[in-house]
């Protein structure tokens, strides 16, 4: 398994769980980058994006494996800059910072859990 990006969840904002349940989305951001957004995001350890995330890659999050369906034009850049992107689970999306993934269910969020992107 070739890992492209691997980080650990350090904080889950109160609204982050609501966004996941109601909008099938999760906003990721490096810890302590934008404290004013902490309630809305899933903060994680800083990580290095070793290679661009592409369609067909895999995401392992919350014990569930997802397949990347679409990567927004800006998503790889914003991940490199501040660990930021919006994951959209089993739904459509078209924003430049979004990564659309498909899988069997929504992930379970917990502190310490890994968010890992791998090659196909």
pLDDT tens readout for residues 27-85: 999 998 888 899 999 999 999 999 999 999 999 999 999 999 999 999 999 999 999 99
- pTM: predicted TM-score of the whole model, two decimal places: 0.96
Residue 67 exposed, middle or buried by CB count within 10 Å (0-12, 13-18, 19+): middle
Work out the average pLDDT over 17-30: 96
Sorted by where each begins, the domain ranges of the chain are: 3-118
For residue 20, the surrounding DSSP H or E stretch is helix 14-23
CATH class of the domain comprising 3-118:
mainly beta
Q: Which of 36, 38, 39, 45 is nearest to 82 (CA)?
A: 45
Residue 104 has which token pair?
A: 């069997």
Determine the pLDDT at residue 94: 86
Q: Grade residue 103 by pLDDT with cuts at 50, 70 and 90.
A: very high
């Amino acid at each position: 398994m070739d890992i492209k990006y691997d980080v650990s969840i350090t904080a889950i904002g109160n609204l982050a769980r609501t966004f996941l349940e109601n909008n099938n989305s999760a906003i990721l951001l490096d810890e302590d980058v934008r404290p004013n957004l902490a309630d809305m995001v899933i903060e994680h350890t800083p990580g290095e994006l070793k290679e661009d995330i592409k369609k067909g890659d895999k995401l392992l999050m919350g014990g569930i494996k997802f397949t990347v369906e679409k990567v927004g034009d800006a998503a790889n850049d914003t991940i490199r800059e501040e660990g930021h992107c919006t994951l959209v689970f089993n739904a459509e999306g078209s924003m430049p910072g979004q990564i659309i993934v498909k899988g069997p269910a929504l992930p379970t969020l917990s502190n310490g859990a890994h968010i890992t992107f791998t090659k196909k």
